[in-house]
Amino acid sequence: MIAYINGEFIEEEASVLQVSDLSIQRGFAIFDYFRIRNYIPLFFDQYLDRFFNSAAMLGLQPLHTKEELKDVINELIQRNNMAEAGFRMILTGGYSADGFEPASPNFIILQHPIQLPSKEKFSNGLNIVLHEYMRDLPQIKSTNYLIAIWLRDKLKQQKADDVLYTKDDVVLEFPRANVFAVTKSGTVITPGENVLKGITRMMVLQLAEKKYKVEKRQVTVNELYNAAEVFLTSTTKRILPVLKINGQIISGKPGAITVDLYNSFLQLEISQ
């Protein structure tokens, strides 16, 4: 598989960074991730906007303009000739002389095969657990997944599919997804602050606002437990229902609004 690093297309196995890079020394880096469908990047501009916003918020200077980056990615799509795939763009803190001060960033793009959840996975839904934690600078898509990876053993022990972060009884986000709930009155709600503003989240909000009452606001843990439906959204999972939280059953099957938004999102992808 061909990767792109600092202006060069190179076999991924041969692509390297020096150990002085701040992404290695201190975990100081941002990234973004998007999918292609039939060789076409989905919601391309929105992902690039978020990538550049994350870079700006950490004071990192991208090596390319948005238009230049589009050209690079389109060439990478042609070189790897893979119709369905995921792309990871990484911008690091650079080779630091003292292991602390940021330097000129390094930039990497990786392309890998992707397998999206099956219809069976959607029907079966997810069993999740809660964990008290709020990410550092949650509005930035950083490479810091320390807690999420540390929690993997807890998930295995509890036979859970994912973990949802909360703070002071307020619902936040999953490590790699946003959360939505549907109240018993049919209002679609999602946390509005201290979360990463996911691109799939953005698209689902736009779809939901055409049909339902939508609220982006603080969501409590109690509201989550008492919701009629709960689901998550992400680039790699699209929309997946959450049927059980900390052992408590929320619903026995995917709810009607979750199913409707899922089908609408699939149609939106096709129209890209």
What is 2-112's CATH topology? D-amino Acid Aminotransferase; Chain A, domain 1 (3.30.470)
**Chain region(s) in the chain for CATH 3.20.10.10:** 119-271
For residue range 206-222, list pLDDT tens digits in order: 999 999 999 999 999 99
Determine the pLDDT at residue 33.
Answer: 98
- The CATH superfamily label for domain 119-271 reads D-amino Acid Aminotransferase, subunit A, domain 2 (3.20.10.10)
Determine the pLDDT at residue 10.
Answer: 97
- CA-angle at 249, arms to 248 and 252, nearest 5°: 170
State pTM to two decimals: 0.96
**Chain region(s) in the chain for CATH 3.30.470.10:** 2-112
d(CA 44, CA 137): 24
User: And the tokens for 33?
Assistant: 């991730």
pLDDT above 90: residue 272 = no
Whether residue 51 contacts residue 72, with contact meaning beta carbons closer than 8 Å, is answered with no
For residue range 179-204, list pLDDT tens digits in order: 999 999 999 999 999 999 999 999 99
DSSP 8-state assignment for residue 219: -
DSSP 8-state assignment for residue 220: B
